[in-house]
């Protein structure tokens, strides 16, 4: 398969493309490519991509990465001449992530991190495509008491037998698979270690505190923090993250893992207070026990992204929250639906 497009725009595959981050990535990539969005809707939603479905350079395929993927078999991709041109880039985001319903998707998560990862890598080998794998900050383990910043060269500490190991250790194994395929097949393969991200299209009422804060504040309901008043995290706005992913795909070969996230540490209680203030809401902030899949994570050291990608987050937290509020208010009739 050609590594450069022979019929104009390049073909780009986004697995998990109907998810929160994936849908924003698809939308952005349409500025420069023909986009194939692959998803099985395990915990994503067609509403995220409805506005893209009628665009000539966008095509959705309902498929499961845990099954072998043969793009040539999809008649709807004939318009992209995939049989002749192949795909030039693959952004691999597909992996179930549900905070409140984590137990429900454990097997799917385990399979996506192993069988699914293998299927996507084999597809990249077949098409000689560049590949970017969205790993996670969880590969570093929990926040350290003596140093909150995580650097790419840090060796993480993860309990491979913990109740959430299918995701945490799964992402680590995914990185191992990507690196092994890079070494053995010469793939141009990149690893993005993504830190906590927020913005429009996040799933509601699934434990993602920022969108739930906004929705509840609009309705005058309590804002629930799963933890205590000291719960801290970093928050990067989704458009900044997407910009980083695209820059990383274009970066030099063999760059190694790159942290993508906000290098500022914020108290989640202050975020909640900011949302209440922005909305002029009378909502109260309450605390509930921590959730298994919602923990304090470290803060990314992003010097590598700045130096090699020319990337850093540009959207201020207050501005990002305003965008999230605008989206939630516009979608108010859909509140409560996935």
Based on the fold, state whether residues 245 and 283 are members of the same structural domain.
Answer: no
pLDDT of the residue at 182: 97
The continuous run of DSSP H or E covering 108 comes out as helix 106-111
CATH classification of the domain holding 229: 3.90.25.10
Mean pLDDT computed over 246-267: 96
- The angle at the Cα of 24, spanning 176 to 19, to the nearest 5 degrees, equals 60
Over the stretch 113-126, which tens digit does the pLDDT of each residue have? 999 999 999 999 99
* Residue-by-residue DSSP string for 206-271: SS-HHHHHHHHHHHTPPEEEES-TT-EE--EEHHHHHHHHHHHHHSPTT---EEES----EEHHHH
Based on the fold, state whether residues 248 and 160 are members of the same structural domain.
Answer: yes
pTM: 0.94
Q: Please say if the pLDDT value at position 337 is more than 60.
A: no
Based on the fold, state whether residues 175 and 289 are members of the same structural domain.
Answer: no
Based on the fold, state whether residues 185 and 242 are members of the same structural domain.
Answer: yes
Mean pLDDT computed over 141-158: 88
CATH classification of the domain holding 59: 3.40.50.720
Mean pLDDT computed over 43-53: 94
DSSP strand pairing (130-136 vs 189-194)? parallel
Based on the fold, state whether residues 155 and 211 are members of the same structural domain.
Answer: no
Range of the domain at 213: 202-234+264-297+315-334
Over the stretch 2-28, which tens digit does the pLDDT of each residue have? 677 666 899 999 999 999 999 999 999
Computed over every residue of the chain, the mean pLDDT equals 92
pLDDT of the residue at 336: 47
Exposure string of 198-230, with b = 16+ CB inside 10 Å and e = fewer, is bbbbbbbebbbbbbbbbbbbbeeeebebbbeee
**Which residues are catalytically annotated?**
167
The continuous run of DSSP H or E covering 189 comes out as strand 189-194
The residue assigned the tokens 């995220």 is 48
Q: Please say if the pLDDT value at position 179 is more than 50.
A: yes
Structural domains counted in the chain: 2
305 belongs to a structural domain: no
């Amino acid at each position: 398969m050609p590594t450069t497009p022979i019929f104009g725009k390049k073909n780009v595959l986004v697995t998990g493309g109907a998810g929160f981050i994936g849908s924003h990535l698809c939308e952005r990539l349409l500025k420069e490519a023909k986009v194939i969005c692959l998803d099985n809707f395990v915990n994503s939603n067609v509403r995220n991509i409805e506005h893209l479905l009628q665009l000539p350079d966008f095509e959705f395929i309902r498929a499961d990465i845990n099954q072998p993927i043969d793009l040539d078999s999809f008649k709807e991709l004939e318009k992209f001449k995939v049989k002749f041109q192949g795909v030039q880039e693959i952004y691999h985001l597909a992996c179930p992530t549900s905070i409140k319903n984590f137990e429900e998707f454990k097997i799917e998560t385990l399979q996506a991190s192993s069988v699914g990862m293998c299927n996507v890598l084999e597809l990249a080998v077949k098409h000689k495509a560049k590949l970017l794998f969205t790993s996670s900050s969880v590969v570093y383990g929990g926040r350290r008491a003596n140093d909150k910043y995580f650097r790419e060269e840090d060796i993480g500490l993860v309990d491979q037998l913990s109740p959430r190991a299918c995701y945490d250790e799964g992402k680590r194994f995914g990185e191992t698979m990507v690196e092994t395929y890079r070494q053995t097949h010469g793939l141009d393969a990149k690893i993005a270690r993504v830190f906590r991200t927020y913005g429009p299209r996040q799933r509601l009422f699934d434990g993602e505190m920022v969108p739930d804060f906004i929705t509840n504040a609009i309705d005058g309901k309590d804002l629930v923090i799963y933890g205590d008043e000291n719960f801290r995290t970093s928050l990067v706005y989704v458009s900044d993250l997407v910009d980083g992913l695209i820059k990383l795909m274009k970066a030099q070969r063999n760059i190694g893992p790159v942290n993508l996230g906000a290098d500022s540490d914020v108290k989640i209680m202050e975020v909640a207070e900011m949302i209440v203030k922005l909305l002029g809401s009378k909502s109260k902030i309450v605390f509930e026990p921590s959730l298994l899949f919602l923990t304090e994570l470290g803060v990314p050291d992003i010097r590598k992204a700045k130096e090699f990608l020319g990337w850093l987050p540009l959207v201020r937290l207050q501005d990002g929250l305003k965008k999230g509020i605008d989206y939630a208010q516009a979608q108010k009739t859909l509140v409560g639906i996935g």
